[in-house]
């Protein structure tokens, strides 16, 4: 089964109007001939309008890095899925490890956020991944299965093919240490097996991205693996040359 590769940038808390304008124009100019690959950037909330206007005539999609688990109401500081839809977001990250760790997001909260995005037709990119201690304790599969099943247990079976999963081992994020293609493939295959417990056919369609120090020099080897259907790129998504090289590897 060939799934269309998705390369998504996660800008995290970086950027400014001026820096974004430059990066976005470099991305648009460099995006010729990447027909085989879907590309997106997930940006800080205040820049959604800028990104929408800069990318609306390009083939690059955009999205947010988080969303409220609530639909509407008295939740100061929160941003709803409907608001993201107003800016034509195609994607929304949920459950990034930096949200889980710094904002104490539980599996249940991540599941609610996923539901909110699905309700408005935005594709959730559900992030899962183990810490180094968990890996060393042989807990990788237990941890990612728990994180994923919290989401799978609340969504409609028919919505399964509308999600994207991102495997991001915490120890590989921003560290320059990446999982080897074989290590990542093993977890991706396990995750696909978990998806197949819900629906075998849809599980084949779900894209499972790898994230964690994906760079131009390791992207091709990772993307070659059977169950690695794209990448979620942090640091390298802030440099147009590096990001476009990764996109080229995903073609
Ligand atoms: P790095 O690519 O900087 O390791 O970040 C990965 C990540 O967290 C993407 O969401």
Is it the case that residue 1 has pLDDT exceeding 70?
A: no
Give the pairing of strands 5-10 and 123-128. unpaired
Is it the case that residue 182 has pLDDT exceeding 70?
A: yes
State whether residue 128 is helix, strand or coil: strand
- Report field, pTM of the whole predicted structure over 0.85: yes
- If pLDDT is split at 50, 70 and 90, which confidence band does 32 have? confident
Is it the case that residue 2 has pLDDT exceeding 90?
A: no
Which residue has the CA at smallest separation from atom 9 of ligand 1?
234
Cα separation, 149 vs 31, whole angstroms: 36
Is it the case that residue 228 has pLDDT exceeding 80?
A: yes
- Set out the domains of the chain in order of their start, with CATH numbers: 6-249 (3.20.20.70)
Which residue has the CA at smallest separation from atom 1 of ligand 1?
234
Q: Note if 96 is an active site residue.
A: yes
Per-residue pLDDT averaged across 191-203, rounded? 97
**C-alpha of residue 233 to centroid of ligand 1, in Å:** 5
Pick the closest to residue 127 from 71, 182, 78, 63 (CA basis). Answer: 63
Which residue has the CA at smallest separation from atom 7 of ligand 1?
234
| Ligand 1 atom at minimal distance to the Cα of residue 174 | 4
Q: How many CB atoms lie within 10 A of CB 162?
A: 18
Ligand 1 pocket by C-beta < 6 Å: which residues? 10, 96, 168, 173-174, 211-214, 232-236
Q: Tokens 């500081």 — which residue?
A: 77
Q: What is the pLDDT of residues 112-148, one digit of tens each?
A: 999 999 999 999 999 999 999 999 999 999 999 999 9
Q: Which of 98, 105, 130, 168 is catalytic?
A: 168
- The CA distances from residue 188 to 52, 63, 135, 152, 194, in Å, are 32, 23, 15, 16, 10
Chain-centre distance for alpha carbon 155: 18
Is it the case that residue 153 has pLDDT exceeding 70?
A: yes
């Amino acid at each position: 089964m060939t799934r269309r590769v998705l390369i998504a940038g996660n800008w995290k808390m970086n950027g400014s109007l001026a820096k974004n304008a430059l990066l976005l124009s470099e991305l648009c100019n460099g995006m010729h001939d990447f027909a085989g690959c879907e590309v997106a950037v997930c940006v800080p909330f205040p820049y959604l309008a800028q990104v929408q206007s800069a990318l609306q005539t390009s083939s690059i999609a955009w999205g947010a890095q988080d969303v409220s688990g609530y639909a509407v109401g008295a939740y100061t500081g929160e941003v709803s899925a409907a608001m993201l839809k107003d800016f034509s977001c195609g994607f929304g990250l949920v459950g990034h490890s930096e949200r889980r760790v710094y904002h104490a997001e539980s599996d249940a909260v991540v599941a609610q956020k996923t539901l909110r995005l699905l309700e408005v037709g935005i594709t959730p990119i559900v992030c899962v991944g183990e810490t180094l201690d968990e890996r060393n304790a042989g807990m990788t599969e237990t941890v990612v299965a728990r994180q994923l099943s919290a989401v799978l247990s609340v969504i409609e079976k028919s919505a399964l093919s509308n999600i994207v999963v991102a495997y991001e081992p915490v120890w590989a994020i921003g560290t320059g240490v990446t999982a080897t293609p074989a290590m990542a493939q093993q977890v991706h295959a396990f995750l696909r097996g978990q998806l197949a417990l819900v629906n075998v056919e849809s599980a084949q369609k779900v894209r499972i991205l790898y994230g964690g120090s994906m760079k131009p020099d390791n992207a091709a080897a990772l993307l070659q693996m059977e169950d690695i259907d794209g990448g979620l790129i942090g640091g390298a998504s802030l440099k147009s040359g590096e990001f476009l090289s990764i996109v080229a590897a995903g073609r």
